[in-house]
Amino acid sequence: MADRNLALELVRVTEAAAIAGGHWVGAGDKNRADGAAVDAMRSFLSTVDFNGTVVIGEGEKDEAPMLFNGEQVGSGAGPASDVAVDPIDGTRLTALGMNNALAVIAVADGGSMFDPSAVFYMDKLVVGPEAADMVDLRLPVKQNIHLVAKAKGVKPNQVTVCVLDRPRHQGLVEEIRATGARTRMILDGDVAGAIAACREGTGVDIMMGIGGTPEGIVTACAVKATGGVIQGRLAPTDEAEREKAAEAGLDVDRILTTDELVTSDNCFFAATGITDGDLLRGVRYRGRTITTQSIVMRSHSGTVRMVEAEHLARKWEKYERLNG
């Protein structure tokens, strides 16, 4: 079992990625932003005392720089751990200077994370602890919204559903709005949206729709610490991917629970804001200092910590964006 002190060590890793990637906010170059965050995350991971293997890497989908699947990270001390990384969840958000970009890492006991390699997308439903035992991805959208409203003691028109802004969600959005519920459309970054659905005071009650399977597993690590729930169903994009899932022994009609996405009850999740968002404030560069806001969770203890940090800017000069 990974040591509880690992939680704050992981915050150092996401802070580094956020500070490095944050220099590229609004610069219009998502690959350079991602590359800076990857380099910083890799560098700081090497200082952490744990024996990690990256099982969910970053960058394969858009040919960006990446921490690759199978890469060994950490000092090698302690028990084996599965690691999921996304140095920038929301590279496009970062490049465009838009909200909800995060640096993210999740760690769990070795062999406990679901292998998402066969199917890259899944249909997801995420809610907080109040409605965790009531919702079901197999139910109609209207029924799930009414169940969440009942659990929270509000009317359906007071429920807000976070949805990725994609053409594939046109029908889903119409169903949500037909109930009277509101939508909060996000361009990217469904990890932030999913966690916001599990946290009070974010203005988000549910997250619905199809997003990345790797992000679903990262979300499951965080959700376990909040008492909320994520349910997923694999969503192959074509017949070839459906056949690949069958070859891997996966049932694409099965509902995957939080505990199936990550079987371990000793999960760590850390994220640092790159740009402002529903969950966290973005990096601030203030001459001599840099300030960050992070969240760190541990499922074993059910602890969620908010971490405000001030960093001396001169210690981070090697991660600054170079002109030209």
Q: What is the pLDDT of residue 90?
A: 93
Is 3 part of any known ligand binding site?
no
Alpha helices in 68-156 (DSSP H): 91-96, 141-152
**Amino acid identity, residue 277?**
G
User: What is the dihedral angle through the alpha carbons of 273, 279, 281, 282, rounded to the nearest 10 degrees?
Assistant: 30
Is 168 part of any known ligand binding site?
yes
Q: Are 274 and 94 in contact (CB under 8 A)?
A: yes
- The 10s digit of each residue's pLDDT in 42-69 is 999 999 999 999 999 854 444 445 688 8
Is 239 part of any known ligand binding site?
no
**Amino acid identity, residue 202?**
T
Q: Which helix (H) or strand (E) holds 233?
A: strand 229-234
Looking at domain 121-261, its CATH architecture is 3-Layer(aba) Sandwich (3.40)
Q: What is the pLDDT of residue 64?
A: 46
Is 165 part of any known ligand binding site?
no
Is 9 part of any known ligand binding site?
no
Is 253 part of any known ligand binding site?
no
Residue 86's DSSP bridge partners are 104
The answer, yes or no, to whether residue 1 has pLDDT greater than 60, is no
Is 278 part of any known ligand binding site?
no
Q: What is the pLDDT of residue 324?
A: 42
Name the pLDDT band for 322 (thresholds 50, 70, 90): low
The answer, yes or no, to whether residue 175 has pLDDT greater than 60, is yes
Domain layout of the chain by residue ranges: 5-111+266-319, 121-261
Q: Which fold has domain 5-111+266-319?
A: Fructose-1,6-Bisphosphatase; Chain A, domain 1 (3.30.540)
- The 10s digit of each residue's pLDDT in 183-215 is 999 998 889 999 999 998 899 999 999 999 999
Mean residue pLDDT across the chain: 92
Please state at what angle helix 141-152 crosses helix 170-178, rounded to 10 degrees.
50
3-state secondary structure of 110: coil
